[in-house]
Amino acid sequence: MCGIAGWADWSKDLTGEKDIIQSMTKAITHRGPDADGFWYSDHAVLGHQRLIVIDPEGGLQPMIYEDTNQKIALVYNGELYNYIELREELENKGHRFKTKSDTEVLIHAYIEWKEDCVQHFNGIFAFGIWDDHLKKLMLARDHLGVKPLYFAERGQSIIFGSELKVLLKHPLVEAEVTAEGLSEVFALGPMRTPGNGIFKDVKEIRAGHYSVFTAYGQKSVRYWNLKSESHRDDETATAEKIKGLLEDTVKHQLIADRPVVSMLSGGLDSSGLTAIAGQEYRSRNKVLHTYSIDFVNNDQDFKEDFLRRDKDEPWVKRVAEHVGTEHHSIVFDAQKLVDNLLVPMRARDLPGVGEIETSLYLLFEEMKKDATVALSGESADEVFSGYPWFHQEEYLNGGQFPWLVNLGYFTDILSDEARLKLQPEAYRQKRFKEAVNEVAFLEGESELEAKQRQMSYLFITRFLPFMLDRKDRASMMTGFEVRVPFCDYRLVEYLWNVPFELKSIDGIEKGILRRAFKDYLPDDVRNRKKSAYPSTKDDAYLKGISSWMTQILEDEDAPILPLINQDRVRAISRGEDQEIQGDKARAILDYLVQINEWLKEYKIKISL
C-alpha cells in the first residue's frame, strides 16, 4: 500500500519542476512512511510514498522498464492478489523478472496487454503509467474502487494523486468549491457521487474504469460492470460457491512480508473471515491476532437501536476463543473521540461521519503498533443485501437513496439563501435518477425483484464507495493497510445475480452466507442478528461537540455561518430543538463542526 502523485503536460518541459512534485508527494507521507521515490522526464513527473508489504528490497517506485522499443514508468498503490499466477503466465510468454514484487508484475502486464492489463488483475489498485515513447498517461482503478485516485485537467496538464490533498498542493489547483460541490456535501453527505471530486473541476477515476490521456485528448473506458443474468445454482451449490470463493480470497489476501491481523466485531462477516484466516494460520503453526473496539462505560451506556441490537464484546470473546486467536480489545473514552474528530476529515480532505470514523482511525493507530495489514469484513452487507432496507417497502419504493429517506433534517438546517442556491432535494433526485438509469435490469424479473436489484446496485455503487473511502483514509492515515475480501470482484459478480430470497434464506439477512460459514462458526454466532459498527452512547460525547458547535456559532468569522440556519443549529446545540435530539443531534453537529473546520483549514473559496 502506498500513495501516488503525478503530473503530465504535453506543452512544457517538466524536468525543472521537482519542487512541485515533491510537495505533492510529501502531502501523503502518511500513506507510505517507509520510503519515497521520484522520477522526472520532459513531459511527466511522478512521485511515490511506500508502505512496505511485499518484497521490501524489490518493490521500489517509481518503477521504470526500458528497452530499445519503449520506456515505461509506473506509480502504483495497492496489491495484486493474483500476482504469483500472473507472473508465471507472463514468464511463459517470455517476460523476465528482477524482483519478487507485484509492482513489477503490473508493469510487465502493461507491456504485454497495454490497457487491457486491467482485465487480468484481481486486487485493489490505483496506478498511473507514463509511456514515454508514446507520451501517453494511463490512470486506472480497481473493480470496486477500494483504492482512491483523483485527477484534474488544467489546460495541457493532468495532475493526479491518491488523495485530494495531493492535487491541492499543485499551484494550478485551487481549493474552490462551487454550488455542485456544496450540494454534494449538504445534500448527499459523505456518500459522494462517483467521479465527483467536490473541488471545482476535480474528478476521480470511477471504480472499474481507466482513462488514457494524450496530447490529443482523453478517453475513459469502463472495463468492468455488473452483468445481469439468471442464477442457476441451487441453495447448496450457491453456499458452496460462496464458501470456495471466500476461502480462496482470504488465502490470497494473507500473502504479505509484514504481519497480517484481522478485525473482529463478533458479527457474521468479520467472524467468518477470522475463522477462515485462523484455520489458514493454524496450518502454518501460527496464531492469528484479532482486534475489536469498545468504549469506556459501554456496559452501562449501551442502548439498543435500529442498527445496533446488542453489544459486540461478548460475541468477540466467543469467536476469539472458538477460532483460537490472540485478541486485543481497544477501548476509548468520549473525550478522546472529541479531541480527534478532525483527523479523519483531514485524512479524506472532506467532512465525514464523525465519531464512527474517529474511532476507526484510533483503532488503526493502535493496530499499527503490532502489524501492517488487516483483514476487514467491509462490504458484506452491500453485496449480500444484508441491510433491512432490502425488504422494507418504505425504502424499496422510496424514490431516493434509501440511506437518505429519514435524513431530510440534514438540509433543514440550511440557511434560506443556501437552500435556494443549492436546491438539495432536487440535487438528490438528479443523482438518484442517474444511478437508477445505470442499472442493468433482468428481463422477466418481477417488479419486487427489479426493486431489490436496483437497491443492490445503489448500495454497491453509491454507498459502498463511502464505506471504502472511510476505511482507506482512516487506515492509511496511520500507514496501515486494510484488505477487504468481500470486495473480490468474482464474489460480487456472482452475488449480483443471486436472488434476494436466496440471499436471505432461512428467514434471516445474509442467510446464504450463514450457510457458507457452517463449517467455520458455531450456530449461535452464525445466527446473531446484524449489529452495525459500534458507536459510543456516552452523553459526554454529545456535550463535547455541542460545546464546540456553540463556540463556532459565537465566532462571527466562522465560514459556515452564511450556509446554516444559525438559530436552528443553536437550539440543537443546546438540546432545545424538538425534532433533532439525541443521535440525530450528534450526527448533525458532528458533521457541521467538520464542515466549518474544513472550510477554514483548507481556506476554501465558495463560488455560488
Q: pLDDT tens digits for 310-337?
A: 788 999 999 999 999 999 999 999 999 9
Comma-separated ranges of CATH 3.40.50.620 domains in the chain? 235-390+465-526
CATH of domain 2-222: 3.60.20.10
CATH class of 235-390+465-526: alpha beta
Comma-separated ranges of CATH 3.60.20.10 domains in the chain? 2-222
Indicate the range of 164-168, 353-357, 457-461 predicted with least confidence.
Answer: 353-357
Q: What is the pLDDT of residue 591?
A: 96
Mean pLDDT on 412-438:
96
Rounded to whole angstroms, the Cα distance separating 381 from 72 reads 40
Q: What is the pLDDT of residue 307?
A: 61
Active site residue ranges: 2
Handedness of CA 107, 108, 114, 116 (dihedral sign): negative
Q: Residue 1: pLDDT above 90? A: no
Burial call 322-349: b when 16+ CB within 10 Å, e when fewer: bbebebbeeebebebbbebbbbbbbbbb
Q: Residue 357: pLDDT above 90? A: yes
Q: Residue 301: pLDDT above 70? A: no
Q: What is the pLDDT of residues 194-211, one digit of tens each?
A: 999 999 999 999 999 999
Mean pLDDT on 404-421:
88
CA dihedral 31, 37, 39, 45 (to 10 degrees): 30
- Reading the block at residue 357, the C-alpha cell is 470514523
Rounded to whole angstroms, the Cα distance separating 559 from 25 reads 29
Global confidence as pTM: 0.96
Which amino acid appears at position 168 of this protein? Answer: L
- Reading the block at residue 22, the C-alpha cell is 515533491
Helix (H) or strand (E) holding 184: none
More confident residue, 301 or 157: 157
Q: Looking at beta carbons, which pairs linking 430-438 to residues 24 or more positions away fall under 8 Å?
A: 431/188, 431/193, 431/401, 432/399, 432/400, 432/401, 434/193, 435/401, 435/461, 435/462
Chain centroid, CA 331 distance in Å:
24
3-state SS, one letter per residue, for 116-134: HHHHHCCEEEEEEEEECCC
Rounded to whole angstroms, the Cα distance separating 597 from 111 reads 45
- Reading the block at residue 415, the C-alpha cell is 440557511
Q: What is the pLDDT of residues 500-554, one digit of tens each?
A: 999 999 999 999 999 999 999 999 999 998 877 778 888 999 999 999 999 999 9
Q: What is the pLDDT of residues 198-255, one digit of tens each?
A: 999 999 999 999 999 999 999 999 999 999 999 999 999 999 999 999 999 999 999 9
Instruction: Give the confidence band of 302 by pLDDT, cuts at 50, 70, 90.
Output: low
Closest CA to 7 of 122, 161, 149: 161
Q: Quote the DSSP letter at residue 572.
A: H
Query: pLDDT exceeding 90 applies to what percent of the chain?
Result: 89
Q: What is the pLDDT of residues 42-93, one digit of tens each?
A: 999 999 999 988 878 888 999 999 998 999 999 999 999 999 999 999 999 9
> Which residue has cell 468549491?
177
Closest CA to 562 of 553, 571, 570: 553
- Phi, psi at 355, each rounded to 5°: -55, -35
For helices 235-253 and 489-496, the axis angle rounded to 10 degrees is 160
More confident residue, 159 or 404: 159
Indicate the range of 12-16, 355-359, 451-455, 528-532 predicted with least confidence.
Answer: 528-532
Q: What is the pLDDT of residue 470?
A: 95
402 cis-preceded (ω within 30 degrees of 0): no
